[in-house]
């Protein structure tokens, strides 16, 4: 399972209307898990969005941001990129902060063959649940 691990530095008092950006090129088409790690001291003031083009990928609405403090927020994904070598962009801001902060991004993917096997097993499991 290929894992993309990146860090984005968010300068102190970066405004929401001018966030820092980090492009992550994803070679595989199938994203299975994403994680955003916030350092201790972010105090829920450092904000992160992940976008695919103009679409906000996470959180779901453009007006919302993911925040945290001394924690990693992770979620399972079942997203198929339209093609290999697509780009996800991380946007981050920190309005009102006095210090720079790092945010850690991890994106887990699957090669095409493994993704189809996992999808098939998932469908079989759901069918088995309905039968029982």
User: What residues make up the domain containing 107?
Assistant: 3-131
Q: Minimal CA–CA distance to 109: which of 13, 26, 23?
A: 26
pTM for this model (two decimals): 0.83
79 band by pLDDT with thresholds 50, 70 and 90 = confident
Mean pLDDT value across residues 88-105: 97
Q: Dihedral sign for Cα 18, 20, 23, 24, please.
A: negative
User: What confidence tens digit (pLDDT) does each residue in 34-68 have?
Assistant: 999 999 999 999 999 999 988 887 887 888 999 99
**49-53, 84-88, 94-98, 128-132, range with the lowest pLDDT:** 128-132
pLDDT higher than threshold 60 for residue 115: no
> What's the order of all strands across the beta sheet hosting 101-110?
3-10, 101-110, 30-38, 71-80
**How many domains is the chain built from?**
1
Residue 47: which CATH number?
2.60.120.380
State how far the alpha carbon of 11 is from the alpha carbons of 21, 35, 39, 89, in Å.
12, 21, 13, 17
Predicted pLDDT of residue 28: 92
């Amino acid at each position: 399972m290929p894992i993309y691990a990146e860090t984005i530095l968010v300068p102190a008092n970066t405004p929401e209307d001018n966030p820092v950006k980090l492009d992550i090129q994803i070679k595989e088409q199938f994203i299975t898990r994403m994680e955003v790690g916030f350092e201790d001291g972010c105090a829920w003031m450092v904000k992160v969005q992940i976008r695919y083009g103009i679409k906000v990928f996470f959180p779901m609405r453009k007006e919302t941001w993911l925040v945290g403090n001394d924690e990693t927020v992770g979620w399972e994904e079942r997203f198929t990129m339209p093609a290999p070598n697509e780009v996800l962009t991380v946007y981050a801001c920190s309005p009102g902060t006095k210090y720079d902060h790092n945010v850690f991004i991890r994106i887990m993917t699957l090669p095409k063959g493994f993704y189809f096997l996992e999808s098939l097993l998932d469908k079989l499991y759901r069918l088995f649940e309905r039968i029982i």
